[in-house]
Amino acid sequence: MPAKRLPRLERASVDTHQRERLARWLQEWQLARDLAPDHTRMAEGQVTAEPAEWNPSLTADVPVETGHVRLLYPRNRATWSVPVYIALLGEAGPDSFLAAPFGRFAEPATPSELLTQRSVPPLRVLCLWNARTISRRRADQSWLTAELSPEEIADAITVHESGRGGAPRPSLAQRVGPPLMHPDDPRHVYLRRERLRFDCACREEGVAYPLPDATDLPLAAENREPYDNKHTESPDESDDRPTG
């Protein structure tokens, strides 16, 4: 019998605009790494501060609603190092909301991160891949900082749904990040760390932010060189590989 041939993998193209966006994001990522706190001190127990107690009097008495942009109360290390702003995109139940965090960088990292077209630095990019249900109680522990328009909510929901297999609107193509294809892309590390950070930020109890797992800690032999051009090549210029 003739040998079966594997189906040919489709190659995705990356346009110049997205290449330039990725290059800018990588510059921000490298700078963030250079300025990051020393995980070794954390691992050796030198960082021992306890999480702060929640005090309702510290935030304005404004009931949370869909469309609110809120700054979570910094009660643990997940929210001490980088402020966590969230967008409430809709009610997920009688006492919960679908919430997405805003990103740390000025450029969207993946197709599930959306430029909001706001000029305020902490609210420039919305990370829809990291959206999840949070309790009303946790959402209450925050300050109201802005409100989304109905159009902004609709755009965010569209990108969120497209990351789950939906069809994004072509009008949003220039406001999202480049595709994630290479297995050595540092965005894999970024996604893992941001997911862990938001997991901890959404907890209801005032528990300390846990240390990153072993895969997140810098290794002694870790290559600290910037992500160079050989990793940003178009799939049209490289060997066939999955594009997911």
Whether 33 maps to a domain, the answer reads no
Q: How far is CA 126 from the centre of its chain?
A: 8
Whether 46 maps to a domain, the answer reads no
Q: How many CB atoms lie within 10 A of CB 126?
A: 30
Q: Is the pLDDT of residue 30 over 70?
A: yes
Whether 201 maps to a domain, the answer reads yes
Helices 187-201, 16-35: axis angle to 10 degrees equals: 60
Model pLDDT, residue 224: 43
CA distances 156 to 39, 68, 85, 204, Å, are 34, 13, 15, 25
What is the C-alpha separation between 232 and 113, in angstroms, rounded? 19
Model pLDDT, residue 226: 47
What is the percent of the chain where pLDDT is above 70?
66
Residues 104-141 pLDDT 10s: 999 999 999 999 999 999 999 999 999 999 999 999 98
Whether 50 maps to a domain, the answer reads no
Kind and range of the H or E run holding 53: none
Number of domains in the chain: 1
Are the CB atoms for 13 and 235 separated by under 8 Å?
yes
CA distances 54 to 44, 48, 78, 207, Å, are 27, 19, 15, 11
Q: How confident is the model at residue 60 (pLDDT cuts 50, 70, 90)?
A: low
Whether 101 maps to a domain, the answer reads yes
Whether 239 maps to a domain, the answer reads no
Model pLDDT, residue 3: 61
Give CA torsion, residues 182, 192, 27, 185, to 10 deg: -10
More confident residue, 55 or 208: 55
Domain housing 91? 16-28+58-213
Beta strands in 39-116 (DSSP E): 68-72, 85-93, 96-101, 113-115
Report the greatest alpha carbon distance in the chain: 77
Whether 242 maps to a domain, the answer reads no
Residues 151-165 pLDDT 10s: 999 999 999 998 766
What is the C-alpha separation between 124 and 25, in angstroms, rounded? 13
Q: Is the pLDDT of residue 90 over 80?
A: yes
Residue length of the chain: 244
Model pLDDT, residue 41: 45
Whether 89 maps to a domain, the answer reads yes
